[in-house]
Amino acid sequence: MLEITDLRAGYGGTEVLRGLTLSVGKGEIVAVLGSNGVGKTTLNKVLSGVQPARSGAIRFNGQDIFGASAKTVVSAGLIHVPEGRKIFPNLTILENLELGGYCRPKSARRTNLDKVFSIFPRLKERTTQLAGTMSGGEQQMLAIGRGLMGEPKLLILDEPSLGLSPLLVEEMFTLIRRLSDDGLPIMLVEQNVVQSLELASRAYILENGTVTISGDAAKLKDDPELRRAYLGL
């Protein structure tokens, strides 16, 4: 579905991604893990076309999207739900969702809205509320709902559990499982290592802009190197 080969990117003289290679297949949840500053957010920005890469290759669904504009990437169905949600605070919930389908034909909007409302009934109750006045958890749901309006073929979720209460984190991970069960491939970018590994089929651990450990999520959970580095065990 998504294949990234030897990707390099950075800001000014600083190289952030140093030859990163990873892939996400159909029906998978792939976790991309790592602590702050290893290049996770830069990777997502490069993938979504808002940050230029220096070299490497990105193929998505058979299409070369290296250097493509954000609009092309979204139209191709690679949808990125960013860290910090980045919803439109001055727009209503309904308007936020409508703009999620900005690149899709208007005729599809009604059915997509119904789909999102069936996943997030709470959004349906409050379509006219300004998005900026919602709680953090609700904003995260709106951000994912907005992403789903773009008819994703693959969804990148950047830190969906960030800033949520443990109960809401649990709810968020259940939701991600549900989306995946419906056939949507997901690239889950997280700092929450334990829960992400439970959810994902495969995982990549980033350090300093490249993949240091990768493999089957269930096996990685018991990897002594990972347990030492991330779990302090």
Partner 1 sequence: MYSPTIILEALVNGLMLGAVYALIALGLTLIYGVLHIVNFAHGALLTVSMYLVWIGCEYFGLDPYVAILFVTPAMFAIGYFLQRLVIGPASRGSDNGILLVTLGLSIVIQNLLLAGFNSDTRTIVTDYAFGVIPLGPLLLSQPRVIGLAVSVVTAGLLWLVLNRTDIGKAIRAVAKEKLGASLVGIDVAHVYAMTFAIGTACLAIAGGLLMPSFYVSPTTGAAFVLVAFTIVVLGGMGSIPGALIGGLLIGVVEAASSLFLGDSLGQIGIFLIFILVLLFKPTGLFGAR
Q: How far is CA 140 from CA 124, 126, 157, 176, in A?
A: 15, 15, 10, 12
Output the CA torsion 120→188→65→62 (10° steps): -90
Copy the structure tokens of residue 116.
């999102």
Nearer to partner 1, 1 or 79 (CB): 79
**Are the CB atoms for 89 and 131 separated by under 8 Å?**
yes
Whichever of 44 and 195 has its CB closer to partner 1, that residue is: 44
Closer residue to partner 1 in complex, CB, 90/174: 90
Distance CA 124, CA 36 (A): 35
Residue 158 CB, shortest distance to partner 1, in Å, is 10
Residue 37 or 84: the one with the smaller Cβ distance to partner 1 is: 84
CB of 91 to partner 1, least distance (A): 6
CB of 219 to partner 1, least distance (A): 33
* Positive/negative CA dihedral, 174, 178, 181, 183: negative
Question: Least CB distance from residue 66 to partner 1, whole Å?
Answer: 17
Q: Which residues in this chain contact partner 1 in the complex, by CB under 8 A? A: 48-50, 69-71, 73-75, 79-82, 85-91, 95, 98-100, 102-103, 106, 146, 149-150
Tokens of 134: 């919602």
